[in-house]
Amino acid sequence: MVKYNTHRLKLDSRRAALLVIDMQNFFLKPKSPTYTEGGTAILPTVKSLIGAFRKSGRPVIYTTHVHAADASDAGIMKWWWEGMCVEGTEEAGIHPLIAPLPKEKVVKKHRYSAFYDTDLETILRCQKIKDLVITGIMTNMCCESTARDAYYRDYRVFFLLDATGSVSEEFHLATLKNLAYGFAYVTTAAEILRSLKGK
């Protein structure tokens, strides 16, 4: 996938943060009606990235996609999607394998982009973040929407092809091609891990 990149970037680990998007039980439990197979496949890789960022003293920021029980904050999404992830339920929780530490930020969102009507940008600005490493699900929806919004806000976006997942390989690849063309540097977890080690 690197062949689709129009620009090559090297992570500035001093100004980098890891964004873990919507790795929730709602999407990752096999019995869930919204189960996303691509999400469970990337769990070990996301876990290793979280560990590396923590070890390097760099921020790990999580997002959860949640709605009120009455869906009063869902808008058109209530019509578009059958099921809503209700805030405060077990389904809304982040998968236990990659649970956040008490000090780590969890941004609650009601739309695909983690920037829309949240405090994510304030969190990043206060920590002087310039490089945003995007992981999570789904590649072609919340991850892509967030990557585009990050680019619009002048962040350098590192979009991980092996730490994002979707419901189909077709959707996944389409997003990688689009983002590599005009919004993000599409790369691998291994390359990010090397950069964190100063290599």
Interval 98-115: pLDDT, tens: 999 999 999 999 999 999
Is the pLDDT at 199 greater than 70, yes or no? no
So what's the pLDDT on residue 37? Answer: 87
Beta strands 60-65; 16-21: pairing state? parallel
Is the pLDDT at 133 greater than 80, yes or no? yes
pLDDT tens-digit map of 38-72:
999 999 999 999 999 999 999 999 999 999 888 88
Cα–Cα dist 11/120, whole Å: 20
Cα–Cα dist 53/126, whole Å: 18
**Mean per-residue pLDDT, 167-185:** 96
Handedness of CA 47, 126, 107, 154 (dihedral sign): negative
State both tokens at 24.
Answer: 């929730």
So what's the pLDDT on residue 72? Answer: 83
Instruction: Please count the structural domains in the chain.
Output: 1
Is the pLDDT at 183 greater than 80, yes or no? yes
Range of the domain at 146: 2-196
So what's the pLDDT on residue 135? Answer: 99
- 29 with 137: CB under 8 angstroms? no
**Mean per-residue pLDDT, 27-46:** 91
- 192 with 158: CB under 8 angstroms? yes
The rounded Cα 141 to chain-centroid distance in angstroms is 10
Residue 64 sits in a domain whose CATH number is 3.40.50.850
Average pLDDT, the chain: 94
State both tokens at 41.
Answer: 């496949």
Measured from the Cβ of residue 43, the count of other Cβ atoms closer than 10 Å reads: 16
Asked if residue 138 has a cis previous peptide bond (ω within 30° of 0), the answer is yes
Q: How far apart are the first and last CA of the chain?
A: 21
pLDDT band at residue 1 using 50, 70 and 90 as cut-offs = low
